[in-house]
Amino acid sequence: MNTVLFAVFPYVAFTLAIVGGLYRYYTNRFSYSSLSSQLLENKQLFWGSVPWHYGIILILLAHLFAGLFPGAARFILNAPLRLYAFELAGMSLALFTLFGLIVLFVRRARPDSAPHLVTTNMDWILLILFGAQVATGVGIAMGARWGSLWYLSTAVPWFWSIFRFHPDFSTIAPLPMLVKFHMFNGFVLILLFPFSRLVHIFTVPLDYLWRPYQVVIWNRAAIRKP
């Protein structure tokens, strides 16, 4: 079972994400967005979207940094005080992210709300899977302490073995089921990328940072003061 889940499935997830994402982009480019419901209801969206996006982005960046630069991450975490600070910051971000996700779920779950009417089955699947991902992350942080440190000698070698096309899950085989579910569920979310609103990750308008300033001229008569 470990072979299927942690040696085969990651390649299936990446292949479907890349091929399916490109196919959707070139055949239905209009759908390549987050399909925002901000115009339907904005107040709850703010309190849910801001914690969710800022929290999950910082958490993913921390995972990515440890994966790409394990030596630097180990140097940072080898000092007990820095390890405590990093663990506390990670737990705070996870709870912050979970709060935002709960707000987004409640916002769409109310039958009398406008966002509920435009919520698709895939939206519910994503909310549930993301909820499971963040909740298990919090559970791991509380039940398997110092995860930011042992992550470097378990998950990171497994990730690198996948990218080298020589999958080796021996470092994660002894881990608890909760940790394994967290890892597997991450690849499930990658697999769902081309079939959901997750595609908006690649629609961030970065070109706005260097495009020329836009001059806006009001097309209406000036209001004269009495």
**pLDDT at residue 205 above 90?**
no
Note the pLDDT tens digit of each residue in 139-162: 998 888 888 889 999 999 999 999
Give the separation between CA 183 and CA 137, rounded to whole angstroms. Answer: 10
The beta strands (E) that lie in 11-141 are given as none
Using the predicted structure, report yes or no on whether residue 95 has a pLDDT greater than 80. Answer: yes
Full-model pTM: 0.82
pLDDT tens across 96-116, in order?
999 999 998 888 888 877 777
Confidence of residue 9 (pLDDT cuts 50, 70, 90): very high
Given this model, what pLDDT does residue 118 score?
75
Distance separating alpha carbons of residues 70 and 191, to the nearest angstrom: 26
Q: How far is CA 226 from CA 15, 123, 190, 218, 223, in A?
A: 67, 53, 61, 21, 9
What's the pLDDT band for 59 if we cut at 50, 70, 90? very high
Q: Contact 9/184 with Cβ under 8 angstroms?
A: yes
When the candidates are 1.10.4160.10, 3.30.70.20, 1.20.950.20, 3.40.50.300, the CATH number that belongs to 2-209 is: 1.20.950.20
Confidence of residue 190 (pLDDT cuts 50, 70, 90): very high
pLDDT surpasses 80 at 39 = no
Check the CA dihedral 83-88-90-91 and report its sign: positive
Predicted pLDDT at 204: 63
Domain segments of the chain: what residues? 2-209
Tokens of 56: 């999950």
Residue 187 pLDDT exceeds 90: yes
Mean pLDDT of all residues belonging to the chain: 85
CA distance 49 to 220: 35
Alpha-carbon distance of 125 to 102, in angstroms, equals 14
C-alpha to C-alpha distance for 108 and 129, rounded to whole angstroms: 15
What pLDDT band is residue 203 in, cutting at 50, 70 and 90? low
CA 95/CA 183 separation, integer angstroms: 19
| Mean pLDDT score, 195-201 | 82
pLDDT higher than 70, residue 172: yes
Q: Report the pLDDT averaged over residues 74-99.
A: 91
What residues contact 42, with CB distance under 8 A and at least 6 apart? Answer: none
